[in-house]
Amino acid sequence: MDPYHETYQGAPEPQPETNEIPLAKLMQWEKQFRDGANWFYWIAGLSALSSILLLIGSNFISAITLGSTQFLVAIGQLIPEMAIAAVIASVLILGVFVLLGYLSNKGHRWAYIIGIILFALDTLLQLWVQDFFGMAFHALALYFLIVGVIALYKLKKLLPQN
C-alpha cells in the first residue's frame, strides 16, 4: 500500500514467531508412535500362533511371522533331539519382541531401534529362504515401525530434557 495514501497505517507490526504445533499433529504423532510400538506385539503374537500351527502340522503359516522362529521350529521337527532347545529359543525370541513392544510403548527410543534392527535382520532371513510374500509383509511392518519411531523422535524433541 502506498505510504502516502490516507488509509495508510504504517508498516504492519511483526508477529512474534510461534513454534506452536497444532494439537491434531501432536495426536497424530502419538498415534503413529503407539501404533508402531504395538507392531512388536503383533509380530510376537502372530509368530507364536504360526509356530504352534507348524508344530501341530497345519499348513497355514502367517506371513508376518518371524522367519527365525519358523526356522527354529523346522530344526526342531527335523532333529528331534533339538526340539526342546528350538522351542526354548523361539519362546525367548518372542519374549524379546514382547519386551521391545512394552519398552517402545514406554517411549524408549533405543528399544524401538533395536526392535527395528532385529526385525530387519529377520527380513533378511526371509530373503534367504526366498519367502517373498513374507518379505512383503515384513516390509509393511518395518514401514510402520519406522514411522512410529520417527513420530517418537518428534514427540521427544518437544518435551523438556531432564
Task: Report pLDDT digits (tens) over 98-157.
Answer: 999 999 999 899 999 999 999 999 888 888 877 777 788 888 899 999 999 999 998 888
| Per-residue confidence band for 30, with pLDDT thresholds at 50, 70 and 90 | confident
| pLDDT at residue 29 greater than cutoff 70 | yes
**pTM of the entire structure?**
0.78
Enter the C-alpha cell of residue 161.
Answer: 530434557
Enter the C-alpha cell of residue 145.
Answer: 515401525
Please give the share of the chain, as a percent, with pLDDT higher than 90.
Answer: 30
Q: Quick one: pLDDT at residue 50?
A: 83
Enter the C-alpha cell of residue 79.
Answer: 532333529
Enter the C-alpha cell of residue 104.
Answer: 517402545
Enter the C-alpha cell of residue 108.
Answer: 524408549
Q: At what angle do helices 132-158 and 83-105 cross, to 10 degrees?
A: 30
Q: Quick one: pLDDT at residue 70?
A: 83
| Per-residue confidence band for 48, with pLDDT thresholds at 50, 70 and 90 | confident
- The rounded distance, in Å, linking the Cα atoms of 102 and 100 is 5
